[in-house]
């Protein structure tokens, strides 16, 4: 793998040089006022990115999976029921985590390539007259299939059913890259990771926690220690942590948010949509299609490309790595070999995306796939030529 090439996996993402340098800092006393002064801008920035108006931001030295575990262990008790749709590898893994913790998971099996089924979620909640369901788990962006789900629609379904369950959202591969509205969608816990839209190395689980979820901590009986929100919040009040924090990544987080807000969050989201649309046009020009079942489900951070019959998506990913030094994502679970994935989130430009599309085409030709060299690249070029914002053009 060449370190000079951008990566096109759906995380970890490319790291801006200034973010990398912000993480590279001398040892700092994490119990000092200097750490507190650095930590507060990072927490306040996450609050703005999530669009929170109440609740707390928790930053844990971990990954998104640790964030999932923290969400359930701080708010639920053994034997509690949670509702979740399974429609991809990451929704499956969250379900598996809950089952390992002794929770009763009511699963709505959903075809891969589809999103969270709103009508079935509402029906399940209406049928729960005893109020046994304590939380609804939702994967905002399923990176295995390149599918986004309608989180606002899930909240509307919950409200229509008149159900009081909490809403937990896995936003690991969407937050800071796609619009997210914690307050407007009535989210109770949102889980993000440092290595996706925040453009940092892996190492931080980033959570937004509502007052309702904080209140649930009082009766939650699942065991927790390292992930205990109570310990975190007590220490936060003193400007620190209950244990040694990841000081460098937290410094990087504050700087990353400054970069995002300097670009403007709406511009960040528009850029991700523009880059994704160029990738999708290339995919169609190749005679292929995204794995997502319909256009309203298309993710703006990753496209799972459905490969032609008789072709192996994993072979393309392996060839790209060994021959051209470029990383794409393999298919996972039910779609292993059936797709290859192009991540287009974080620090990316049109020119960088075109380099990835070019390499993907060369791999297809090398493997004897039915593709015309240049077809996808030219389709993306035509789209990007007409959609580069005026501000970017003026800056050239």
User: Residue 37: how many CB atoms within 10 A of its CB?
Assistant: 10
Question: Is residue 395 in a domain?
Answer: no
Report the distance separating Cα 89 and Cα 49, nearest Å: 26
Q: Which tokens in the block code for residue 175?
A: 């937050």
**59 and 126 together in one domain:** yes
Q: Let me know whether 238 and 343 are in one domain.
A: no
Q: Quick one: tokens of 395? A: 């800056």
Domain boundary residue, one of 228, 261, 294: 261
Sheet order of strands, 289-290 included = 289-290, 302-306, 339-343, 329-330
Is the per-residue pLDDT at 203 higher than 70? yes
Contacts of 106 (CB under 8 A, 6+ apart): 81, 82, 83, 84, 124, 133
Average pLDDT score over the chain: 96
Residue finishing a domain among 245, 261, 277:
261
Q: What's residue 112's pLDDT?
A: 97
Cα 20 from chain centre: 20
3-state helix, strand, coil in the chain (%, to 5): 45, 15, 40
Take residue 154 and report the two structure tokens written for it.
């899930």
The pLDDT, as a whole number, for residue 395 is 40
Residue 3 pLDDT > 90: no
Residue 69 has pLDDT above 50, yes or no: yes
Judge contact between 260 and 237, C-beta under 8 A: no
- Domain of residue 80, residue span: 17-261
| Domain shared by 146 and 189, yes or no | yes
Q: In whole angstroms, what separates CA 29 from the centre of its chain?
A: 31
Residues 157 and 93 in one domain: yes
The answer to whether residue 207 is domain-embedded is yes
Considering the domain architecture, whether residues 340 and 353 belong to the same structural domain is answered as: yes
Provide the pLDDT confidence category of residue 391 given band limits of 50, 70 and 90.
Answer: low
Question: What was the pLDDT predicted at 113?
Answer: 98
User: Could you tell me whether strands 204-209 and 189-193 are parallel, antiparallel, or unpaired per DSSP bridges?
Assistant: antiparallel
Total number of domains constituting the chain: 2
pLDDT at 33: 87
Given a cut of 90, is residue 238 above it in pLDDT?
no
Over residues 249-274, mean pLDDT: 97
Residues 6+ apart with CB under 8 A from 165: 83, 125, 133, 134, 135, 136, 158
Alpha-carbon gap, residue 129 to 123, rounded angstroms: 11
Query: 335 and 209: one domain?
Result: no
Tokens representing 380 are 């993306």
Is 215 within a domain?
yes
Q: What is the pLDDT of residue 105?
A: 98
Q: What is the CA radius of gyration of the chain?
A: 21
Q: Is residue 11 part of a domain?
A: no
DSSP string for 69-120 = HHHHHTT--TT-EEEEEE-SHHHHHHHHHHHHTT-EEEEEE--BTB---HHH
Query: What pTM value is reported for the model?
Result: 0.96
**Mean pLDDT score, 220-244:** 94
Percent of the chain whose pLDDT exceeds 90:
92
Looking at the structure, tell me whether residues 252 and 371 fall in a common domain: no
Q: What is residue 168's predicted lDDT score, i.e. its pLDDT?
A: 98
Which CATH number does the domain housing residue 285 bear? Answer: 3.90.1150.10
pLDDT digits (tens, 9 = 90+) for 364-386: 999 999 999 999 999 999 999 99
Does 234 share its domain with 111? Answer: yes
Residue 151 within any structural domain of the chain: yes
Output the domain CATH number for residue 245: 3.40.640.10
Q: pLDDT digit string (tens) for 328-347?
A: 999 999 999 999 999 999 99
User: Are 224 and 275 part of one and the same domain?
Assistant: no
Same domain, 269 and 244: no
Q: What is the mean pLDDT of residues 48-68?
A: 97
* DSSP-derived 3-state class of residue 275: helix
Three-state DSSP class for residue 19: helix
Residue 7 in domain: no
Claim to verify: residue 183 and residue 278 sit in the same structural domain: no
Q: Which residue, 145, 195, 172, is CA-closest to 69?
A: 172
Range name among 21-30, 162-171, 290-299, 343-352 with the lowest pLDDT average: 21-30
DSSP state of 18: H
pLDDT for position 396: 38
Ranking 52-66, 176-190, 237-251, 295-309 by mean pLDDT, the lowest is 237-251
Residue 5 counted as domain residue:
no
DSSP classification of residue 40: H
For residue range 268-326, what is the model confidence (pLDDT) as tens digits?
A: 999 999 999 999 999 999 999 999 999 999 999 999 999 999 999 999 999 999 999 99
Between CA 4 and CA 278 the distance in angstroms is 23
- DSSP one-letter string for 15-39: --HHHHHHH------TTSHHHHHHH
Tell me what the mean pLDDT of segment 94-105 comes to. Answer: 97
Residue 358 maps to a domain: yes
Residue 394 pLDDT class (50, 70, 90 cuts)? very low
Inform me whether the pLDDT recorded for 1 exceeds 90.
Answer: no
Choose the weakest-confidence range: 24-28, 133-137, 314-318. 24-28
Q: Cα–Cα distances in Å, from 330 out to 35, 64, 286, 378?
A: 40, 20, 18, 24
Is residue 290 within 8 A of residue 298, CB to CB? The reply is yes
Q: Do 155 and 104 share a structural domain? A: yes
Please give the pLDDT value at position 381. Answer: 98
- Identify the domain boundary among 240, 261, 282: 261
Secondary structure of residue 305 in the 3-state scheme:
strand
């Amino acid at each position: 793998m060449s370190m000079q090439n951008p990566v096109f996996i759906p995380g970890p993402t490319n790291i801006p040089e200034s973010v990398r340098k912000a993480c590279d800092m001398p040892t700092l006393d994490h119990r000092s006022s200097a750490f507190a002064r650095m930590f507060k801008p990072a927490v306040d920035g996450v609050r703005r990115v999530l669009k929170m108006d109440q609740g707390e931001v928790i930053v844990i030295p971990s990954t998104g999976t640790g964030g999932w575990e923290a969400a359930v262990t701080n708010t639920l008790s053994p034997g509690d029921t949670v509702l979740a749709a399974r429609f991809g590898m990451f929704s499956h893994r969250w379900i598996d985590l809950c089952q390992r913790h002794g929770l009763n998971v009511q699963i709505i099996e959903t075809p891969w390539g589809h999103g969270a089924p709103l009508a079935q979620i509402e029906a399940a909640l209406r049928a729960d007259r005893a109020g046994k369901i304590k939380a609804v788990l939702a994967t905002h962006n399923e990176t295995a299939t390149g599918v986004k789900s309608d989180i606002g629609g899930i909240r509307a379904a919950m409200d229509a059913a008149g159900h009081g369950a909490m809403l937990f959202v896995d936003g690991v591969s969407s937050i800071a890259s796609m619009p997210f509205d914690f307050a407007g969608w009535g989210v109770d816990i949102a889980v993000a990771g440092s290595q996706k839209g925040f453009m940092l190395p892996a190492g931080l689980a980033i959570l937004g926690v509502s007052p309702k979820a904080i209140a649930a901590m009082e009766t939650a009986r699942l065991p927790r220690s390292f992930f205990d929100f109570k310990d975190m919040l007590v220490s936060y009040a003193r400007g620190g942590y209950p244990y040694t924090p990841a000081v460098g990544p937290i410094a990087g987080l504050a700087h990353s948010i400054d970069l995002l807000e300097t670009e403007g969050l709406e511009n960040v989201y528009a850029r991700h949509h523009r880059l994704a649309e160029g990738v999708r046009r290339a995919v169609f020009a190749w005679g292929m299609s995204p794995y997502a079942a319909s256009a309203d489900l298309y993710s703006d951070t990753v496209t799972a490309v459905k490969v032609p019959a008789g072709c192996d998506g994993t072979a393309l990913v392996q060839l790209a790595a060994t021959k051209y030094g470029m990383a794409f994502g393999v298919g996972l679970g039910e779609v292993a070999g059936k797709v290859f994935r192009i991540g287009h989130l974080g620090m990316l430009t049109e020119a960088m995306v075109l380099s990835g599309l070019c390499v993907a085409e060369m791999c297809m030709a090398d493997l004897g796939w039915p593709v015309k060299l240049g077809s996808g690249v030219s389709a993306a070029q035509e789209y990007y030529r007409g959609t580069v914002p005026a501000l970017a053009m003026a800056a050239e």
